[in-house]
Amino acid sequence: MNAKQRDRVATVIIDLIVAAVVGILLFLLVYILSAGLPHVSWKFITGASDPMSGAGGIGVQLFNSFYLLVLTMLISIPISLGAGIYLAEYAKDNWRTSLIRSAIEVLSSLPSVVVGLFGFLLFVVKFKMGFSVISGAVALTFFNLPLLTRNIEESLSAVSRSQREAGLSLGLSKWKTEIGIILPVALPGIVTGVVLSAGRVFGEAAALIYTAGQSAPVTNFSDWNPMDPASPLNPMRPAETLAVHIWKINTEGMAENAAQLSAAASAILILAVLLFNLGARLLGNFLYRRVTASK
């Protein structure tokens, strides 16, 4: 076999692998959507579910998923941004830094059920935060931190050293250089990380069962005062998310049409994730264009 043939064989193999991956993905998407979408109605998307059987709509759960995501991101993005900047720019290359890095890796490999039980014992019971959106958000932050920190660190490190030198040579402080010059260039990579971790938050169930709870009390969507117990924005109320709801319908639900309900809810979940990804990318590209003046 000469170099040209070898090249061709390798290309074919790589193409096949890619095709397999895309094929599996498409199959799952088509399967979930075709099984679920016929049972989706506007009433299903916006309606409330029956607390006992799980039958009915998923309106509250859908809102809870988004709300939990936003809260989680509000907590985890600033922390991981700080940690990522520290690791990429300020940390010296010594045993302490590698200890931090290993700790982050260990954190990322914790089973979600362990994180859930930890959150339950610490936040829900010990700190008396109860089954609540905020307990769930803090627990999910534990998932997000390693992924996001690592991702932000790598995105920042990938920006050329010469950009840093340019900033410093103009008399800009290290911090100003980092925030004003390096961060904008690293933005697309960071957005990718945020999207990936958001997907995890949307799909997470095990950790949330113990922290955000399995009940979705009827909320009053005309009351937007976060202090009111019935307000959807109240972070102290229990909040069953869509993923937890799907799990519940299938395990504890007593609805007659449980299979259809969960198929429909899964289809909505998938669509929500896709929409979120798309939105985050558009926003990221828009921001990137604004700060870098590129097309």
Partner 1 sequence: MLKQYSFEKTAVQSFDAQTTLALKTEDLQVFYGANHAMHDANLGFPKNQITALIGASGSGKSTYLRSLNRMNDGIATVTGKIWYHGVNINEPNVNIYEIRKHIGMVFQRPNPFSKSIRENIVYALKANGMKSKADLDERVETSLRGAALWDEVKDTLDKSALSLSGGQQQRLCIARSIAMAPDVLLLDEPCSALDPISTVKVEETLLELQKQYTIIIVTHNMQQAARVSSQCAFFHLGHVMEYTSTGTMFSNPQIPVTQDYIAGSFG
* Residues that bind partner 1 in the complex, under the rule CB under 8 A: 160, 162-163, 165-173, 176, 180-181, 184-185, 291-295
* Shortest reach from residue 83's CB to partner 1, in Å: 21
Q: From residue 105, give the alpha-carbon distance in Å to each of 75, 92, 148, 152, 198.
A: 20, 18, 11, 14, 19
DSSP per residue, 207-251: HHHTTT-S------TT---TTSTT-TT-TTS----HHHHHHHHHH
* Shortest reach from residue 194's CB to partner 1, in Å: 20
DSSP-assigned letter for residue 228: S
255 and 50 in contact (C-beta within 8 Å)? yes
CA gap 221, 226 in Å, rounded: 11
Beta-carbon contacts of residue 144 (< 8 Å; ≥ 6 apart): 72, 73, 76, 80, 197, 200, 201
**Of 43 and 289, which has the nearer Cβ to partner 1?**
289
* Shortest reach from residue 166's CB to partner 1, in Å: 5
* Shortest reach from residue 113's CB to partner 1, in Å: 43
126 and 63 in contact (C-beta within 8 Å)? no
* Shortest reach from residue 170's CB to partner 1, in Å: 4
**Of 169 and 225, which has the nearer Cβ to partner 1?**
169
What is residue 87's three-state secondary structure? helix
132 and 213 in contact (C-beta within 8 Å)? yes
Bridge partners of 56?
A: 49
**Of 135 and 177, which has the nearer Cβ to partner 1?**
177
Chain-centroid distance of CA 7 in Å reads 39
**Of 100 and 172, which has the nearer Cβ to partner 1?**
172
**200: exposed, middle or buried (Cβ count in 10 Å: 0-12, 13-18, 19+):** middle
* Shortest reach from residue 84's CB to partner 1, in Å: 19
**Of 87 and 264, which has the nearer Cβ to partner 1?**
87
CA gap 107, 2 in Å, rounded: 47
Chain-centroid distance of CA 154 in Å reads 18
**Of 220 and 292, which has the nearer Cβ to partner 1?**
292
* Shortest reach from residue 158's CB to partner 1, in Å: 13
**Of 27 and 175, which has the nearer Cβ to partner 1?**
175
Place of tokens 């869509």: 242
* Shortest reach from residue 180's CB to partner 1, in Å: 7
**Of 192 and 260, which has the nearer Cβ to partner 1?**
192
Q: From residue 142, give the alpha-carbon distance in Å to each of 77, 90, 201.
A: 12, 23, 11
